[in-house]
Amino acid sequence: MRIGELSERTGTSRRLLRYYEEQGLIVADRLPNGYRDYDERYVDRVRQIRGLLDAGLPTRIIKQVLPCLDKPRTIYFSDATPEILATLEHERDGMTERIQFLTRNRDAIADYLDAVRGGDRRDVPA
Amino acid sequence: MRIGELSERTGTSRRLLRYYEEQGLIVADRLPNGYRDYDERYVDRVRQIRGLLDAGLPTRIIKQVLPCLDKPRTIYFSDATPEILATLEHERDGMTERIQFLTRNRDAIADYLDAVRGGDRRDVPA
DNA sequence: TCGGACCTTCACATCGATGTGAAGGTCAAT
DNA sequence: ATTGACCTTCACATCGATGTGAAGGTCCGA
């Protein structure tokens, strides 16, 4: 598939796809005419990138981390250097903190909404 | 307290504190000499701002949202317009999504680490 | 053969969150 | 009175993630 299709299927602008490539997050094959050529797996891969980006990881970290998470569900033990592992642990802990933090803030907002009005909750008992 | 102390106590540069003020997130009193003067409550307030910022909310949303969450634990029903409430609901849901998303990614990383080595977990059964 | 819809690279622009530095005022201690 | 540590405003710089547009190649269908 060419860049336009990947763009549509991932909701990511062509510009950004090229940018991710420039940052080393993805590597595209080239058709004889120079066009980028992506296979099916890139759809998931790009979504994962967007996800990690949205999670607050900068591209340079994603670049390190991605090769480890990329393989669909087969885990290759081989290719993680101690540095990568350390980075991953650090990120894991950082993400855990972020999750807790986000949760606290979300709950604060939710509590406020619940207090100020019935607040759309489907799970209120009575 | 003046800006330097607030800066130290919140781990936020003076520059940023002024920036938040410029964005309307905080309003500082002024001492007779023109220096900004903050009271105790600003420590928490700034931390909350950092938190929401870190949670991915842009300052313009925080500005809307903050007055509602600000009051320590007394909730004033009066001052939330329907728009603000809608914004809050939207943010609450967005944050919930982000939490789930982050959690999935964090778990993916954690699983990988657990698989590749014992991975520092204190809670592994055996 | 032409037009339009793709694609390429390159480069400059924007936007929000920050850093940094200049030029200057205030104040407390020496 | 001077020094040093604060503070002020203003403005330009940076950084990562993006948008946008120019200048041009490719390919397909009327």
B58-70 average pLDDT score: 76
Q: What pLDDT is stored for residue A103 in this prediction?
A: 84
pTM over 0.85: no
Chain A hits for B113, Cβ within 8 Å:
85, 88-89, 92
Distance B4 CA to D1 C1' (A): 27
Q: What pLDDT is stored for residue A74 in this prediction?
A: 47
Instruction: Write down all domains in chain B, each with its CATH number in brackets.
Output: 1-72 (1.10.1660.10), 81-126 (no CATH)
Per-residue pLDDT for A21 more than 90?
yes
Query: Are B102 and A99 in contact (CB < 8 Å)?
Result: yes
The nearest alpha carbon in chain B to A119 belongs to: B89
Chain A hits for B67, Cβ within 8 Å:
none
Burial track B14-31 (b if 16+ CB lie within 10 A, e otherwise): eebbeebeeeebbebeee
Query: Are B95 and A88 in contact (CB < 8 Å)?
Result: no
Which stretches of chain A are DSSP H helices? 3-10, 14-22, 41-54, 59-70, 82-116
Q: What pLDDT is stored for residue B79 in this prediction?
A: 60
pLDDT digits (tens, 9 = 90+) for A27-76: 999 999 999 999 999 999 999 888 888 777 788 888 877 776 665 544 45
Which one is predicted more confidently, B90 or B9?
A: B9
Q: What pLDDT is stored for residue A78 in this prediction?
A: 47
Terminal Cα-to-Cα distance of chain A (whole angstroms): 53
Quick one: tokens of A24? Answer: 């080393």
Query: Are B116 and A89 in contact (CB < 8 Å)?
Result: no
